[in-house]
Each structure stands twice: as structure tokens, then as C-alpha cells.
Chains A and B, each alone.
Chain A
Amino acid sequence: MKKVFGRPESLTEVPFTYCPGCHHGIAHRLVAEVLDEFKVRENTIGVCPVGCSVFAYLFFNVDMICAAHGRAPATATGIKRVKPDSIVFTYQGDGDLASIGTAEIVHAANRGENITVIFINNAIYGMTGGQMAPTTLVGQVTQTSPYGRDPKTMGYPIKMAEMLSTLKRAAYISRVALNKPANIIKAKKSIKKAFQVQLDKKGFSMVEILSTCPTNWGLSPIEASKWLEENMIPYFPLGEFRTPEEVA
């Protein structure tokens, strides 16, 4: 009998430690499926961040390094410059990528580092227990915006995909969501495109993934998916912001 569903080879047997309803696990699986489909597992080096996905090095069945908080694009740059024929990806949260690591992501994109960035935007700092992220929505209550995010003093949520799309050497930039099967299918296609861009040595690629954090949003998994759909997608529109055709 043909096996129709199994664990991708690019994932280890270690069970995920994410909370129920958290999208980190789905994102891992999609990345692993893409690595399998391109048959690049044995030639891949992944860079995990500091954040809830700090343990991603245990989950991805590829060589991995855990970067300092926010510095994954720099660490990935170091690896890729030594091993231009390896597949190098970072996996980063929104505090990691859009706050402490803003300089690193902007400059990796601007140099056109031939790496793929998987950016998990869950509008919160998950690991540290629910503080405001640069992507936290206006009015959203977090530990450090207890009266709701006030743009007058805290600014507006940063749209990283749009911001990085202004850079000439950013070859592929998209935003996807994992809140329903149709979106998951689109997300997978987009992740595949991003890695294709790297395989073709066309430069920097990033997929921003809108994700849930039911635990720190204080919602059930189903409510969290609904909240993402109703609040995040209108502010963070899905789609492709930059494709290699525009770069050429």
C-alpha cells in the first residue's frame, strides 16, 4: 500500500513542544516537506532563533545552529558565505526578526544574501510570556501594553514584508497564513518558491507567516484562528510582495 501521510524525513522523531493550536508546528512541517521535495535535507543548514522555536534544532532533521536573539540572518550570512552551495535558512519570530534583529534582517536582505527566511509573525513575544511585539496590533492587550497598544507612544505594527520589499536585492517576499487548509496550501507553495529562489541563486527570500499564539493571546485554538483571520489578515495582507521576475 502506498503511504499517503507520514513524517517528512526533514523532521526528527522528537515530538514538538509547542502549545496546542500553535502554528509553529505547522510551519515546521511545511518547511520540512519542502526540503524533502527538493531533496536537499542533507545539504541544508538551518538557523533557529531565540523564541519559542529555540528548540527547532531538535525538530529539523538537518544540521542546525541556534543564533543569538535576532542575529540569525547574520549567522546565516556567515554560513552561506562559506558554503554557497548549501541551502541555508533561518526560522525567526517577530520579536527576533522585527525588533532586536531589525538591522540584521534589513542588511541581509539588502545584500541579497542567498538565504531563505521563515518569519513567524504571531503579534506577540511567545516565549517570554506575552509581551508586546513590533507586530502587535493597535489596541492589542499584552503584558507590556496592558491598556492596549497605543500607536501614539508605541507606534504601529511593522509590516516587515512590505518594508523589505523596497530593497532591490530582495528577490522573493511573501506573506501567508496558516489559519485554514486553503491558506496552508498557499503557504506551502510560497515556501517552496522561496527555496526555489535560493536554489536558483537569485538572492534573498522571505516568507512571513501569520501564526497563532493561543496561549499568550488567551484564546482557544479555534478562537485564535478566528482572531488571526479577523484581525491580523486585514492589517497584514496576504500575497507576494516581490518575485524574482521583478528583480531581473
Chain B
Amino acid sequence: MGEKMLMKGNEAIGEAAIRAGCRYYFGYPITPQSELTAYMAKKLLKMKDAAFVQAESEIAAINMVYGAASTGVRVMTSSSSPGISLKQEGISYITCSEIPCVVVNMQRGGPGLGDIQPAQSDYFQAVKGGGHGDYHLIVLAPSSVQELVDLTMDAFDLADKYTNPAMILGDGLLGQMMEAVEFKERPKVELPDKSGWNLTGCKGREHRYVVSFDLDPNILEKWNLNINEKYKKLKEKEVRYEAVNLENADLVIVAYGTVARIAKTTIQMAKKEGINIGLIRPITLFPFPEKIIASTAVKTKKFLTVEMSLGQMVEDVKLAVNGKAEVNFYGRAGGIIPSPEEILKEAKKYL
């Protein structure tokens, strides 16, 4: 058994990152994730062989991550929606360079400066690439403080395994919430050796370089195809989801993160009224759990996707369902959190 502690979501991410061996953090303050930046400052500034830099901007922060990660160490940056937008060019470069790192987005209401309330309106940006070019991030969607911890640690492993940035896609509510968490003993995982690509100085070998371009389109196409192979592998091997009450469900809710938590209460409320509602909660948003949604669509003819956005993940649900069932949508925008009652009322419309 690991230790149990009561922790705020944002700080739990920081502690998890440090326990996962991350000693380098570069960030810029933004609500609702500033506690994470502060936590990393408090811890890393006192550690040996570690660095915390409050960068001049999110742009600088992600480019610091690029440099640090190119040496082969574990590195993290975090922000919230507007700051994540600023990081996109850098994330695209890092992905093309095939370098691992972890980026945390504790989403807030948008677009624009938006507000500082929890939201899920950066789904498209997170799972479809976000910056320019053909690429994806590995996107993990925690729905409790415990999962913030576990998935942050997993994010470092997955990033290393696939030499691709991984993103924790949370929201302001998860970041601010206090819950008991356990830092579990983790089984040792075999991860690829970085000594074939990391920059160390060229002592005893040829010089090497990390770049994200090739002006020869034939080479660049091959490069893209190689990166794409990793996404195929991710889709085969790393899909994660939670399925609740799918047997004999009259309707299945698809929701992630904070909304999935709320939907669990909805399911309990429905049960009391004799209504059978199921839940598919994607834990990996990329790779997306298409198969379970597709196989469920054969049995349950009704889906309700609920998001704190005006309809983003629902597009992926529809792709997975592929016309085999009815896909409905309910969403709140601008930082409004839907209540369990609200979701139940919406579900009843389709029953």
C-alpha cells in the first residue's frame, strides 16, 4: 500500500509528476491551474538536479520543455485553455521531433479569455492535434484526484514509450477539488532507451541533432507515416475506458472527466426511478475507445453524449456508432457544470 494523503487536484498532479521522476518544469501562471505551477516551484527549487523556471510566456515555457526534453529527461508544463493555445506551435515541433513530454491542460471556459470556470471546450484542440500538421497527442482524461495522480504517472510512461507528447486534459473543477489520494507502488515498466536520440554532447560518438523539418517532401511524408504508425499502435494497445451498467441499459451516456462523475449520480437517480442508464467514460480521449462504443451501439440503440461544451466529443461518438444507433447530445458552455438532475431530465427525453 502506498501513502494516502488529502490533496488538491492541481497539487496532486505536481506530486505525481515528481514521483514519476519529473525534475524539470517550465510554466506560466494561469487560473485555474496556478497551484500546480506553485507546487512545482516549492518542490523543484529545493531539489538537486532539478529546475523550475517561471517562463516569460507559455510560448517560452513549451520551448524550454522542447530543449530540456531533447536531453532525455522527463519534463512537464501546465496551463489552462488560453495558455495551451499559445503552446500549440511548440507542441507541434516536439511531436514532429518525436520527443516525449507531458502537458497539462486544466480547461476553463472559452473561447477568448473566456472565464475561469471548468469547461471541456478544448476537446477538439486536444485530440485532433491542436497545432499545425498531421499529429496527435496522447490524451488522458482523469475524473478524480486519484486519477489525476495515476494518469499523470502513466502520461510520462506513455510519452516515453511512444516518444510523443502526452496531455492530461482536466478542468478547473478537478484542479481545485480536494480528495484523498494514494500514491501507489507502481509495477516497473520497460521503457525504450533514450540513448539513441537524446542530446548529451557528442563525446565518443558522431554528432546528432533534433529537428522538426525536412525540405524534401518525400522524406517528410515518410516521417509523417512513421509517426502515424505510432498512432495506429496506440489505438491497438492503449485504449482505456470505464464501462458502467452497460448490460440492459436503455440509454448509454458517453462522458469524460468531471461530467462522467456527475453522470454516475444521474445513473443512481435513474435506478431509483426504474430507469436503466449506462455510462461509457473514455479515459484515453486519444486513442478514443471506439470499439466499446461500436459494440454497445449494436445492443443499446440510444446514446447521450454529455459535455461541458457545445458538442465536440459527440463527433467522435457518432463516428464510432457509425449510424447504428441514435446519438443525442447535451452540453453546457462557458464554464457551467451540468447537474445530475439536468442530465436525467435530458436522458428521459429519449426514453
Contact = CB atoms under 8 A, between A and B. Distances in A.
Contact of B60 (A41, A81, A82, A103): A103
A41 B203 CA distance: 8
26 contacts: A41-B202, A42-B203, A54-B213, A61-B202, A63-B201, A63-B202, A63-B209, A64-B199, A64-B211, A65-B209, A65-B210, A66-B209, A67-B66, A68-B66, A68-B90, A68-B93, A71-B63, A75-B66, A76-B67, A78-B26, A78-B63, A79-B67, A81-B51, A103-B60, A104-B63, A107-B60
A221 B79 CA distance: 49
A35 to B, nearest CB: 11
Interface string A95-121: 000000001101100010000000000
A12 interface: yes
A79 B75 CA distance: 11
A6 B348 CA distance: 82
A77 B207 contact: no
Contact of A82 (B24, B59, B63, B93): B24
A107 to B, nearest CB: 4
Given A75-B64, A79-B68, A83-B71, A57 B211 contact: yes
A103 B57 contact: yes
Interface in A41-96: 41-45, 47, 54, 57-58, 60-68, 71, 74-83, 86
A77 B56 CA distance: 12
A45 B59 contact: no
Nearest to B206: A61
Question: Which one of B65, B75, B199 has the highest number of Cβ atoms from chain A below 10 Å of its Cβ?
Answer: B199
* Residue among B70, B90, B208 facing the most chain A CB atoms (10 A cut-off): B70
B228 interface: no
A80 B199 CA distance: 11
Given A65-B70, A65-B211, A43 B201 contact: yes
A104 B209 contact: no
Contacts of A41: 202
Contact of B63 (A57, A68, A83): A68
B199 A79 contact: yes
B68 A71 contact: no
Contacts of B346: none
B65 to A, nearest CB: 6
B207 A43 contact: no
A82 B71 contact: yes
A106 B56 CA distance: 9
Interface of A: 12, 41-45, 47, 54, 57-58, 60-68, 71, 74-83, 86, 103-104, 106-107, 111
Given A63-B207, A64-B207, A83-B71, A104 B202 contact: no
A77 B77 CA distance: 14
Interface centre among A75, A80, A83, A106, by most B CB within 10 Å? A75
B202 A82 contact: no
Nearest to B61: A74
A78 B213 CA distance: 20
A77 B65 CA distance: 9
B53 interface: yes
A58 B71 CA distance: 18
Contacts of B294: none
Given A12-B207, A63-B199, A74-B55, 10 more contacts: A43-B201, A45-B71, A64-B211, A68-B90, A77-B53, A78-B66, A82-B67, A82-B73, A86-B200, A104-B60
A74 B67 contact: yes
A62 B201 contact: yes
A103 B209 CA distance: 25
B148 to A, nearest CB: 25
Given A43-B203, A57-B211, A74-B64, A79 B70 contact: yes
A42 B202 CA distance: 5
Contacts of B63: 67-68, 71, 74-75, 78, 104
Given A41-B202, A71-B63, A78 B93 contact: no
B89 interface: yes
A76 B199 CA distance: 12
Interface in B1-40: 24, 26
B169 to A, nearest CB: 23
Nearest to A50: B213
B201 A42 contact: yes
A107 B68 CA distance: 17
A87 to B, nearest CB: 8
A111 to B, nearest CB: 8
B69 interface: yes
Nearest to B57: A103
A44 B210 CA distance: 14
B199 A45 contact: yes
